[in-house]
């Protein structure tokens, strides 16, 4: 049982480049989340998916797109990276459909945009 | 929308000192509350949670938290910290379909 996995672990991009962050969970969880973590600001929700086929914006969705490919996988795409998107990105999942359950986190992706 | 605030950004303690980290949530009613911990280089993991019942909840590694409804607070405590408690601690509250996290408190325990 790997839990929540993320790839890549580290990435350096130039301004304007695009990339996709991958997340997968093997716990049969319904809901999945993408957060960014910045110093002094905690975790801020970018997008979430309450179930396969649905996605919703969180607090800071601008500059990102997501795809809930199937129940296991939830990807985050940066179409044109900007230095302000330098951050650590965490994927998480929960068993139910609402936010009042324990979240299980992946190991994170450290992204630097030059 | 629900939100949480954590008052201490960085706390430095010596081993065996007592710890209390503050957390306040924004409004009342039925509320579930969480504390997560992030050890250096690791991902977030659940420390403890409050759903209902006894307002004093115990978590892993000797941590506990007290839910005080009248104060909108859910402070984290540990009687005697260890060097291995050095980490960042996040209070969190559900907000409809997502979770809102506080800014975090970095705890440094000196040996």
Mutant choice from B40, B45, B91, B97 vs A, greatest count of A C-beta within 10 A: B97
pLDDT, one tens digit per residue, over B74-84 is: 999 999 999 99
A47, A58 Cβ separation under 8 angstroms: yes
- Distance (Å) from the alpha carbon of A41 to chain B's nearest alpha carbon: 4
Which residues does chain A have within 8 Å of residue B51's beta carbon, measured at their own beta carbons? 100
Report CA Rg, chain A: 13
Residue-by-residue pLDDT tens, chain B, 111 positions:
788 999 889 999 999 999 999 999 987 677 889 999 999 988 899 999 998 889 999 999 999 999 999 999 999 999 999 999 999 999 999 887 778 899 999 999 998
Cα-to-chain-centroid distance, residue B71: 15
pLDDT per position as a tens digit, A65-75:
999 989 999 99
Q: Would the CB atoms of A33 and B98 count as touching at under 8 Å?
A: yes
What does each C-alpha distance from A25 to A59, A83, A94, B47 come to in angstroms?
23, 29, 10, 21
**B59 interfaces chain A, CB cutoff of 8 Å:** no
């Amino acid at each position: 049982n790997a839990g929540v996995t993320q790839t890549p672990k580290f990435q350096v991009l130039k301004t304007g480049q695009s990339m996709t962050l991958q997340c997968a969970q093997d716990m049969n969880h319904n809901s999945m989340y993408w957060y960014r973590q910045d110093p002094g600001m905690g975790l801020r929700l970018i997008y979430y998916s309450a179930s396969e086929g649905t996605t919703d914006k969180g607090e800071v969705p601008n500059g990102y797109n997501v795809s809930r490919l199937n129940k296991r996988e939830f990807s985050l795409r940066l179409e044109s990276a900007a230095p302000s998107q330098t951050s650590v990105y965490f994927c998480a999942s929960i068993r139910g459909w609402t936010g009042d359950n324990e979240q299980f986190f992946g190991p994170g992706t450290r992204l630097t945009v030059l | 929308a629900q939100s949480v605030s954590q008052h201490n950004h960085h706390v430095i303690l010596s081993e065996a000192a007592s710890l209390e980290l503050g957390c306040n949530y924004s409004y009342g009613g039925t509320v579930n509350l969480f504390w997560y911990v992030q050890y250096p280089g690791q991902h977030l993991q659940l420390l403890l949670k409050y759903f209902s019942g006894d307002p004093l909840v115990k978590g892993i590694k000797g941590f506990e938290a007290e839910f005080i409804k009248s104060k909108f607070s859910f402070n984290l405590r540990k009687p005697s910290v260890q060097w291995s408690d050095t980490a960042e601690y996040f209070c969190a509250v559900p907000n409809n379909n997502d979770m809102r996290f506080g800014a975090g408190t970095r705890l440094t325990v000196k040996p």
